Every structure is written in structure tokens, then in C-alpha cells.
Structure 1
């Protein structure tokens, strides 16, 4: 199990490794996101063809992004990530408006979910799992049972 600090580092590396803008072509976009997962250390090169491993890396990436969002207003990263994803999907702007860091985390999360479409049938269980792992890691790091 990772620590929130290690997860934040992974999230920063992931965001930095994602090309801006992402390729428009579906296949090239998926390749770019997978390459960013490799660069961030969330995916091992031996797992490139393994859908279960890529899905697990996407889950870990989402968990890491939630930990990263925990940094500013401490303890609300998972909720922020959900609101940012829903706002993107439903085309509304949350209040207060997202910061540049939050927008980068949202962009990375959307990119991860795009990659997940290539490796899973449904990304909702992946999101739920990522938020559960986030809660468990945050609880463990705080010394709570």
C-alpha cells in the first residue's frame, strides 16, 4: 500500500508526462496516456498488453490524483475529483471555479478514464475502487484503524 505522499508524487509525474494537448485520435490518445502511466511509475512495462494491469494502473492513477487534490483543502480530494469529473461530463462549472491545478487533475483523470475504455467494460467500478483505496490509504496514513 502506498502513502498519500508517494501517491501525490505519482500524480505529479503523471500530469507532467501527459502531452498537452492530448492527441485527438483515439488510438494515439490511449498510447499517450499509457506512456504517461509508464513514466509516472504507475504501470510497469511488462504489463503493457495486460488489460487487468492497465485497469489497475488507471485505478492507482485516479487514487493518486485524489491524494493530490487532498493537498490544498485537506481531506476532500476524492470529493473534488468526483465533482470535477461530473462537471466535465455534465458541462457545468463548480463553485468556486476550479484552480489550474484542479483542472490539470481533471484532465489527467479524464485521460485515464479514456484509457480505461480500452481495457474495461465499465469505468464506474474503477472509479469506486480508486476512491475506496484513497480512503483506506488516507485513513492508514492518519494512523486510524
Structure 2
């Protein structure tokens, strides 16, 4: 099982690999996000075009972003990720307002979910799966320490 530290490193690589700003064209945007997943190691080159593999990589990316948010406030990463995504969707600013790093995490999570639209039937199940993996990995990590 991966550790939260591994996931945080993957998340950082993913965030850094995505171009800023992301392309507006859906196809180019999807290609850019897949390239980011490849660069971060969350997706294998052999799995390009394999929808279940891409959906799994998206899930792992979301899990990694939740672990990255945990770094600031242990145990709150999953909730923070959901709040950031909801704020983006509903166009409100949570209090306290997200800092620069949180905004980049939100943009990355949104881009992952946009890609998932092409590869997964149920985005809520995918997001729920990511948060469950996050909880399992965080729990396993705290038991080992």
C-alpha cells in the first residue's frame, strides 16, 4: 500500500506537470491532463486510451491531492478537497479563502474530474472511491507510526 508521503509527492509532480493555464479546448485539455498523469507516474504510457486505467489514475490523483491537503491539517484533506471542488462548482469563496497552493490543488482536481467525464460513468463514485482510498491510506499510515 502506498504511503501518504508517496501520494503527496505524486500530487506535487502532477500539479507541476499541468500547463497553466490549461487549454480551453476539451480535447487539448484532456491530452494535457493525461500528459500530467503520465509525468507524475500515476498513469502508464501503455494505458493511454484504456478508460478503466485512466479512471483509476484520476482516482489516484484525487487521492494524492487529498493527502497533499492533509499536510497542512492532518485528517482534513478529504473534506478540504470536497469544499474546494464545491466552491469551484458553485462559484463561492470558502472562509478562509484558499491560498495559492489550495487554488492550484483545486484547479488540478477540477481538471482531473473533467478528464474523468471521458472515462468514467459515475463521477461521484470515482470521487468517493478516491476519498475512501485516502482514508484507508491515512489510517494505515497512522497505525504504522
TM > 0.5 fold call: yes
Q: What is the SS of the residue equivalent to 1:97?
A: coil
1:48-88 per-position Cα deviation (integer Å, ceiling 9, x unaligned): 02100000000000000000000012220000000000000
| Separation (CA, whole Å) in 2 of partners of 1:99 and 1:69 | 11
Q: Which runs of 4+ in 1 moved over 4 A?
A: none
- Aligned pair count reads 144
Residue in 1 that maps onto 2:76: 76
Query: How many angstroms apart in 2 are the aligned matches of 1:62 and 1:133?
Result: 10
Aligned to 2:91: 91
Q: How far has the Cα of 1:36 moved from its partner?
A: 0.1
Cross-structure match for 2:139: 139
Give the Å deviation of 1:122: 2.1
TM-score by length of 1: 0.98
The TM-score, its normalising length taken from structure 2, stands at: 0.98
CA distance in 2, matches of 1:73, 1:136: 17
Q: Counterpart in 2 of 1:123?
A: 123
Deviation of 1:121 after TM superposition, in Å, equals 1.9
CA RMSD of aligned residues (A): 0.8
What is the CA–CA distance in structure 1 between the aligned matches of 2:107 and 2:49, rounded to whole Å?
A: 24
Find out whether 1:31 has 2:31 as its counterpart: yes
Whole-angstrom distance in 2 between the partners of 1:6 and 1:90: 31
Say if 2:101 is the partner of 1:101.
Answer: yes
Secondary structure (helix, strand or coil) at the match of 1:128 reads helix
Q: CA deviation at 1:129?
A: 0.1
Residue in 1 aligned with 2:57?
57
Name the structure 2 match of 1:46: 46
- Decide which structure has greater helix share: 2
120-129 or 28-37: bigger deviation: 120-129
Where in structure 1 are there 5+ consecutive unaligned residues?
none
Unaligned 5+ runs, structure 2: none
| 1:92-119 superposed Cα distances (whole Å, 9 cap, x missing partner) | 1000000111111000000000000010
